[in-house]
Chains A and B, each alone.
Chain A
Amino acid sequence: MHLVRDAFPQAEGEALTAAIVLGIGSPFARDDVGWQAIDLLEASGLCARHPGCTLAKLDRPGVSLLDAMRGYAQAILVDAMLTDDPPGTVRQLALDDLACLHSTSSTHELGVAETLALGERLDLLPPRLDVLGIRTGDSLPRGWGIRLAGELDEILSTTS
């Protein structure tokens, strides 16, 4: 776990430190991990460790995800994923990794992967964007929130 205090000196100014962590989810089929993540990050004091960092939850935002990230120098998305990893595994995903998640079927709205692809094409993404996937499951192991907070601390501490 990385406990970074005052990682961003005030002199650096808000523009450099303003970041939003967005937990994306829905109430169905264990898709609420992104929301749980925000609760755990709030409880861990993430925003106190990283002034200028905001936490928010989104319910299947579609293209309004682009609006939610607008104005921030950095956005970190936290979403549930289904992989062969054990439940609770946290993975940092590249936009290219998301291609396999494209699912233009069955919905009016675009999913996260398609929305980010659209945002990239239209130059609407924040200067720095990280996507964290959390392997969801019926029961997540204790401590996954601490590992997630550690990942967030590391990402936010490397922002310059």
Chain B
Amino acid sequence: MSTPRDISIRVPVLARVEGEGALELDVSDGAISTLRLNIYEPPRLFEKLMLGYAPDQVIDMVARICGICPVAYQVTAVHAFEHLGGLDVGPWARAMRRAMYCGEWLQSHALHIHLLAAPDFLGFDNAIAMAERYPDEVRRGLRLQGLGNALIGLFGGRSVHPVGLRVGGFYRAPDRAAVDALNRQLDAAVADAKELVRWCAALPMPDDQQTFTSVSLRDADDYPLQAGRIVSSTGLDLEVGEFDRHMREFQVPHSTALHAELDGAPYLVGPLARLNLNHDRLPADVASLLRETGIEFPSRNMFHSMLARAVEICVAIREARRLLDDYREPDRPAVPWPPMAGVAVAATEAPRGLLWQRYETDADGHVTDARIVPPTSQNQARCEADLRASLNAFGLDRDDDELRLRAETVIRNYDPCISCATHFLRLKVRR
């Protein structure tokens, strides 16, 4: 019988994720004894920074939480404040926000698939190396990402930390000529999006079946994005305001980002959870395209997150085009919003999953308490459980480089946004 090796692997910083963290893995007697996703990025304290500010100031502050998904933070916040007074912003603002949000899914998913995750599955260190062999695919990714950015910029003035949204609607409506130009780009992108679904379905993926709870919004009619009830694969069906009765956030010593559990167990949010729970809400043509791949949803293979992102790119392009069809500028882009005291709650589907926010306001409408539950922190406990299952299935007798790559691939598959959550990878294996 061979003596277990004492090995220490260090990956100083995990590449191709947002934020800073490390993985610690102890293997003794052929079994994992310690596995921690160690998030050491300093806390960013946004929930306290916002206290005392008015809702329209908060909208600009939450945009700074993330450079990739600012629209998600902004739309969730405006919805919360609007729900507080029962404000109906009308069909134009609702539709345009959904179109803008589609832009964020499009740019974030295209970036993740092509530049961050695909190199893992195709055997490259990074997208630059992958571009040598797959130039057309990488160009496709850049085109789709650029289109998503353009869609955000159409409504937000700029794609990073946009400034167009306000409580009650938008500061201004885009003009018809700009929308027409974007519609032509959306029409041209349909072929790219369909090809992307086929490409992702054909990527060499590990067949790693796991048991997990999916959680997402579920809309009455549409694929969920900015409205709906919170549902789970365990049968929960909740008003958005009821979520924190089941979801518990808690601190763990090795992470500056909170962990979360749903009814005492880890759970998954994000593209795979959304598609698992809402595949029947896909537009017919996208559902047909997905059926052609032969991959069925709900899926228990976490690596099908890539395909789910590609499917959601199709949804985003189709939805944005539908919503912007026959576009007309409104009489006014926003309705007045009266400040009031109360508790404001909302949830939307950020690219990385369910984003839940809760605010308390005083009579002037200023924020007296804020709570933001981002998707990456909700996924952390699930990601650790996934790592444990994936590495066991992969085989702990593999060499350190193989183990490290598989661990990084598992983590990147979640497209973690640690800055949003703090809130990567130094891998230390001790056996």
Q: Which residues of A contact B (CB under 8 A)?
A: 59-60, 63-64, 66-67, 104-110, 114, 117-118, 121-122, 124
B119 → A minimal CB distance (Å): 10
Q: Tell whether, in the assembled complex, residue B145 and residue A63 are in contact, meaning their CB atoms are under 8 Å apart.
A: yes
Q: List the A side residues contacting B20 at CB < 8 Å.
A: 105-106
Q: Name the one of B138, B160, B424 contacting A59, with C-beta atoms under 8 angstroms.
A: B160
Q: Name the one of A63, A64, A66, A108 contacting B17, with C-beta atoms under 8 angstroms.
A: A108
Q: List the B side residues contacting A124 at CB < 8 Å.
A: 139, 142
Q: Tell whether, in the assembled complex, residue B132 and residue A121 are in contact, meaning their CB atoms are under 8 Å apart.
A: yes
Q: List the A side residues contacting B424 at CB < 8 Å.
A: 106
B227 → A minimal CB distance (Å): 27
Cβ-based interface call for B111 (8 A): yes
Q: Tell whether, in the assembled complex, residue B128 and residue A118 are in contact, meaning their CB atoms are under 8 Å apart.
A: yes
Q: List the B side residues contacting A106 at CB < 8 Å.
A: 13, 17-20, 424
Q: Name the one of A63, A64, A105, A118 contacting B15, with C-beta atoms under 8 angstroms.
A: A105
Q: Name the one of A108, A110, A114, A122 contacting B139, with C-beta atoms under 8 angstroms.
A: A122
Cβ-based interface call for B115 (8 A): yes
Q: Tell whether, in the assembled complex, residue A121 and residue B126 are in contact, meaning their CB atoms are under 8 Å apart.
A: no
Q: Tell whether, in the assembled complex, residue B126 and residue A122 are in contact, meaning their CB atoms are under 8 Å apart.
A: no
8 closest Cβ pairs, A-B complex? A105-B13, A108-B18, A104-B15, A121-B131, A117-B128, A118-B128, A67-B146, A108-B68
Q: Name the one of B14, B131, B160, B417 contacting A60, with C-beta atoms under 8 angstroms.
A: B160
| Bound Cα distance from A122 to B115, whole angstroms | 13
Q: Name the one of A105, A114, A121 contacting B14, with C-beta atoms under 8 angstroms.
A: A105
Q: Tell whether, in the assembled complex, residue A121 and residue B15 are in contact, meaning their CB atoms are under 8 Å apart.
A: no
Q: Which residues of B contact A (CB under 8 A)?
A: 12-20, 67-68, 111-112, 115-116, 126-128, 131-132, 135, 138-139, 142, 145-146, 149, 159-161, 417, 424
B151 → A minimal CB distance (Å): 13
- With a 10 A CB-CB cut-off, give which of A60, A114, A122 has the most chain B CB atoms: A122
| Bound Cα distance from A122 to B16, whole angstroms | 20
Given A60-B67, A67-B146, CB of A108 within 8 Å of CB of B135: no
List 13 A-B residue pairs with CB atoms under 8 Å apart, sorted by A's residue number.
Answer: A63-B111, A63-B115, A63-B145, A64-B149, A106-B18, A106-B19, A106-B424, A110-B115, A121-B131, A121-B132, A122-B131, A122-B142, A124-B142
Identify the closest chain A residue to B418 (Cβ). Answer: A106
Extra inter-chain contacts (6) besides given A63-B142, A118-B128, A118-B131, CB under 8 Å: A64-B159, A104-B126, A105-B20, A108-B112, A108-B417, A121-B128
Q: List the A side residues contacting B126 at CB < 8 Å.
A: 104, 114
Identify the closest chain A residue to B425 (Cβ). Answer: A105
B189 → A minimal CB distance (Å): 15
A121 → B minimal CB distance (Å): 5
| Bound Cα distance from A56 to B142, whole angstroms | 21
Q: List the A side residues contacting B112 at CB < 8 Å.
A: 108
Q: List the A side residues contacting B116 at CB < 8 Å.
A: 108
Q: Name the one of A60, A64, A105, A118 contacting B127, with C-beta atoms under 8 angstroms.
A: A118
Identify the closest chain B residue to A58 (Cβ). Answer: B160
Q: List the B side residues contacting A110 at CB < 8 Å.
A: 115, 127
B270 → A minimal CB distance (Å): 15
Q: List the B side residues contacting A114 at CB < 8 Å.
A: 126, 128
Q: List the A side residues contacting B160 at CB < 8 Å.
A: 59-60
B19 → A minimal CB distance (Å): 7
Identify the closest chain A residue to B160 (Cβ). Answer: A59
Q: List the A side residues contacting B145 at CB < 8 Å.
A: 63-64
Q: List the B side residues contacting A60 at CB < 8 Å.
A: 67, 160
| Bound Cα distance from A106 to B425, whole angstroms | 9
| Bound Cα distance from A64 to B149, whole angstroms | 9
